[in-house]
A and B are shown apart, each in its own frame.
Chain A
Amino acid sequence: MRLGGAVLCAMLAAGPALAADKLKVGFVYVGPVADFGYSYQHDLSRKALAEALPDKVETTFLENVPEADSERSIEKLARSGAGLIFTTSFGFMEPTLKVARKFPKVKFEHATGYKRSDNVSTYSARFYEGRYVCGKIAGTLSKSGTVGYIASFPIPEVVSGINAFMLGAQAVNPNIKIKVVWVNTWFDPGKEAEAAKALLAQGADILTQHTDSAAPLQEAEKQGKLAFGQSSDQYRFAPKAQLTSITDDWNGYVIAEAKAVLDGTWKSHDTWGGIKDGMVVLAPFTNMPDAVKAMAEETKQAIADGKIHPFAGPVLKQDGSVAVKAGETAPDPMILGMNWYVKGIDDKLTQ
C-alpha cells in the first residue's frame, strides 16, 4: 500500500512542481568530515556551494562510506532525489558508473578516477605541482639531507607526488634522500604518527605526507622538526612545524558544476586543475627564512605561468633509463599512470 502511495507521490512530484524545486546535491566521502584533511576540504566546498546558491541548491552528504560498500550509498542519494552527486574517492569509481547507468538523468562527478560516461564527469587536481614546490623548500631547509615521506597507497597520484617532490628537492640539493613509509590507509592518525616517529628516528628532519590526518605534523611539532600539511591548512595543529600545506580547493569547481546543472549546460568532461586554476592552493609559507619564502613564491608563480613543469626532462627512472627526454615534458597520460620512481628515491614499488 505504501508502495502504491510512493509511486503516486513520485508521479505527482514529477509534474511542474519539480522545476521550482531546489537542486539536491549529494556528496559521498570516504573519511569522516572531521578528518581536517581530504574529506573535510571537500565538505568545505559543499558548504561554499550552499552559501553561494542558497535559494537554488540543497546539499547533503554521507561520510565514512567504505569503498567496498559504496554502491548502495550512492544509489540511496540518487533515490533521495539528488540531481548532482559528487563521489570523492578513487574507490568509488565502478560503483559510481554502475549507479549512473541506472539513473541517466542524475549527473555524477567522480574525483580522481579515469572512467567517464554520458552522465559521469571526472575531476582531480594536479597535486604534483604543489609537491614540487614543497620539494624545493625541503631540499633547501633539510640539514640532515633526509626527508621522510608518509604515503598512503601506491596509486599513480601518490607516486607522481613522491616523484615531483623528489625532483623539486633535487633541483636545489642533488644529494637529498627521501625515505618512504607506506601506511596503507588514507586516514589513521595512530598509524600516521607511528610512521612519523619511525622516520624521525631514522634521521629525517622534515616530514611530508600523502595521508589526511594532522598526526605527522603534530609529531614533528613535538620533536622540534618541520613538516608539510596535506589537503587542508593544518597550521593550527602545528604552528611551529608547518612549512606550508598542499590544499585542495574544490569550491570553484563544485559551484561551477552545480550552476551548469541548473542552467542545463552540464556535459560529461574531465577536469585536471592545478595551481593556475586555483584548485591546488599552497597554504601561507611559514617557519622558514625570507629568502626561502621568496624562492617558494617564485617557484609557485613559475608553475602557474607554465615556465616550470615539475616533470620537465631530462627525467631519469630509478634504474637510470630515460623517462622524459631533455627539452620535453611528461605528457598527462604518463603522469596519470605513473608507477615508477625517479632516480634517487630509496624505496621499491611493487610491480
Chain B
Amino acid sequence: MRLDLVPRTRRSPVLDILSPALAFVAAVLIGGVAVAALGVSPGDAFVTYFVTPLSEVWSLQEIALKAAPLALIATGLAFCYRANLWNIGAEGQFVIGGLAGGWVGVATHGMGGFTLWILPAMLIAGTLAGTAYAMIPAVLKVRLGVSEILTSLMLVYVAQLLLDYMVRGPLRDPAGYNFPQSVGFDPAARLPYLMEGETLHAGVVVAFLAVVLATVVLARTLFGFEVRVVGASPRAARFAGFSDARLTLAVFAISGGAAGLAGIVEVAGKIGQLQPEISPGYGFTAIIVAFLGRLSPPGILIAAIVIALTTIGGEGAQIDLKLPLDLTRAFQGLLLGLVLGADVFAGYHVRLVPGGPTGRPVS
C-alpha cells in the first residue's frame, strides 16, 4: 500500500479558505498539548494568547503597529515570490530605508521655518533607498546570473553594519555621551498619531493602503497578470512575450520599496531616532507572513495580524502564566508548517493505492 497525491483538477474555493483555518485549529490543539505538558491549563493559555490581546484597546493598537510593517513588507515580497524570484533580503532593505529616511530627519533637526516637507521627504527617501538596495541583487541576477537568494541575504548584514557604523560615527548625537544613537527627531519628522495620547500612528494607514493597492495591481492590471503567468508557467510567459529581465527588476523594485517604506515608517513612527537596531527581524518574519498569507495581499494582512497577535499574546503568557518565549516561537513555526501542509490537501487528492513503494512518481 502507498499514498498517492493526485492533483485536483479544480481548486475548491471553500477548501482554500477552510484549509488555513483548519491548520490554525490543529496548531492550537497541538500547542494546547504542549502547554498542558508544561503544567498550565490550556484554556487559560488560549485566553491569554488569543482573547486578552483582542479585548483591550491598548493591545489592539499594538497588534496593528506590529502587523503593519509585516504586512507592508510581505505584500512587496508576494510580487517577488509569485514570479518565482527569491528576495530574502527584505530585512536589509528595511534597514537601508530606515537609515536613508532617518538621515533626512537627522539633517533637518532643529530646522525652523517651513517644515511640512520633511516627513514626505523622509518617506520618499526611505522608499527609494529600499528600492535602490534591492536593485543590487536584481541587476546581478539579470546581468550575471548570480543567485538572488545569496546576494539579497548577504546584503542584509551589509545594511545592518552600515547602520551600526553610521550611528556610531557620522550620525551620532553629539550630546549623547558617545553612545550609539542619533538625535531624537523633531515633531515635523515624526509620523502623526491617529489619536491623541495613544500609540497608533499613521504608518498603519500607509500599510493598509499598500495592501489594497497591491490587491488591485495583482488582480486587475496587465503587470499583475504578467507576474502571475511568469510564476505559474515561465515557458508560457516567454511565448507571450513577457521579458524575464524587466520583470525581475520590477518585482525587486516593488519589494525593496515596500521594505524601505516599512523601515522609515518604523523609524519615523515608533522609534523616533536612529539607533544600531531598528528591526526585531521584521524582514525575515515577513517571509513567513507572505507564505502564511499564501502570497495574496488580503491573506497576508490576516497572516500579519495572526503573527502579531501570537507575539503579543506570547508576552502576556510569559508575564501571567510564566510560559517560556520559546513556546511562542515554536507555535509560530508549527502554524507555518501546518498551513503549508494543509495547502497540499487543498491542491491534491490523497489516494491509498495498492502496490509497492516504488510506483508511479508523485506528481
> Does A319 lie at the interface of the complex (its beta carbon under 8 Å from any beta carbon of B)?
no
Contact B177 A68 (CB under 8 A): no
> Does B12 lie at the interface of the complex (its beta carbon under 8 Å from any beta carbon of A)?
no
> Does A265 lie at the interface of the complex (its beta carbon under 8 Å from any beta carbon of B)?
no
Contact A6 B180 (CB under 8 A): no
Give the size category of A's interface with B: 35 or more
Q: Contacts of B315 on A, CB cut-off 8 Å? A: 62, 72-73, 76
Contact A64 B55 (CB under 8 A): no
Contact A68 B279 (CB under 8 A): yes
> Does A321 lie at the interface of the complex (its beta carbon under 8 Å from any beta carbon of B)?
no
> Does B168 lie at the interface of the complex (its beta carbon under 8 Å from any beta carbon of A)?
yes
Contact B62 A339 (CB under 8 A): no
Interface string of A317-351 (1 = CB under 8 A from B): 00000000000000000001111000000000011
- Option from A72, A73, A155 in Cβ contact (under 8 Å) with B180: A155
Q: Contacts of A91 on B, CB cut-off 8 Å? A: 275-277
> Does B270 lie at the interface of the complex (its beta carbon under 8 Å from any beta carbon of A)?
yes
- Give the residues from 63 to 83 in chain A that come closer than 8 angstroms, CB to CB, to chain B: 63-64, 66-69, 71-73, 75-77, 79-80
> Does A154 lie at the interface of the complex (its beta carbon under 8 Å from any beta carbon of B)?
yes
Interface centre among B164, B168, B169, B266 (most CB of A within 10 A): B168
- Option from B57, B169, B178, B322 in Cβ contact (under 8 Å) with A60: B322
Contact A3 B57 (CB under 8 A): yes
> Does B318 lie at the interface of the complex (its beta carbon under 8 Å from any beta carbon of A)?
yes
Contact B56 A3 (CB under 8 A): yes
- Option from B276, B279, B318 in Cβ contact (under 8 Å) with A62: B318
A62-B318, A156-B178, A337-B177 are known contacts. Are A3 and B280 too (CB-CB below 8 A)?
no
- Option from A72, A155, A338 in Cβ contact (under 8 Å) with B312: A72
Contact A60 B319 (CB under 8 A): yes
- Option from B58, B178, B266, B276 in Cβ contact (under 8 Å) with A79: B58
Interface string of B171-185 (1 = CB under 8 A from A): 000000111110010
Contact A351 B273 (CB under 8 A): no
Q: Contacts of B318 on A, CB cut-off 8 Å? A: 60-63
Contact B319 A80 (CB under 8 A): yes
- Give the residues from 307 to 349 in chain B that come closer than 8 angstroms, CB to CB, to chain A: 312, 315-316, 318-320, 322, 325
Q: Contacts of B278 on A, CB cut-off 8 Å? A: 68
A46 to chain B, nearest CB (A): 12
Interface centre among B66, B161, B180 (most CB of A within 10 A): B180
Chain A residue with the shortest CB-CB distance to B320: A80
Query: Bound state CA distance, A73 and B59, in angstroms?
Result: 11
- Give the residues from 219 to 234 in chain A that come closer than 8 angstroms, CB to CB, to chain B: none
Query: Bound state CA distance, A69 and B269, in angstroms?
Result: 13
Q: Contacts of B62 on A, CB cut-off 8 Å? A: 72, 75
Q: Contacts of B58 on A, CB cut-off 8 Å? A: 75, 79
Contact B312 A26 (CB under 8 A): no
Q: Contacts of B279 on A, CB cut-off 8 Å? A: 68
Query: Bound state CA distance, A77 and B315, in angstroms?
Result: 9
Contact A6 B56 (CB under 8 A): yes
Contact B280 A62 (CB under 8 A): no
A2-B55, A80-B320, A155-B180 are known contacts. Are A64 and B165 too (CB-CB below 8 A)?
no
Contact B177 A156 (CB under 8 A): yes
A155-B180, A350-B169 are known contacts. Are A68 and B319 too (CB-CB below 8 A)?
no
Given A60-B319, A75-B62, output 9 extra A-B contacts at Cβ < 8 Å: A6-B55, A68-B278, A68-B280, A94-B181, A94-B275, A155-B178, A336-B177, A350-B165, A350-B169
Q: Which residues of A line the B interface, CB within 8 A?
A: 2-3, 6, 26, 60-64, 66-69, 71-73, 75-77, 79-80, 90-91, 94, 114, 153-156, 184, 336-339, 350-351
A-B contact pairs, 15 of them (CB 8 A): A61-B318, A62-B325, A69-B280, A73-B315, A76-B312, A76-B319, A77-B319, A91-B277, A94-B272, A114-B179, A153-B180, A154-B168, A156-B179, A337-B178, A338-B178
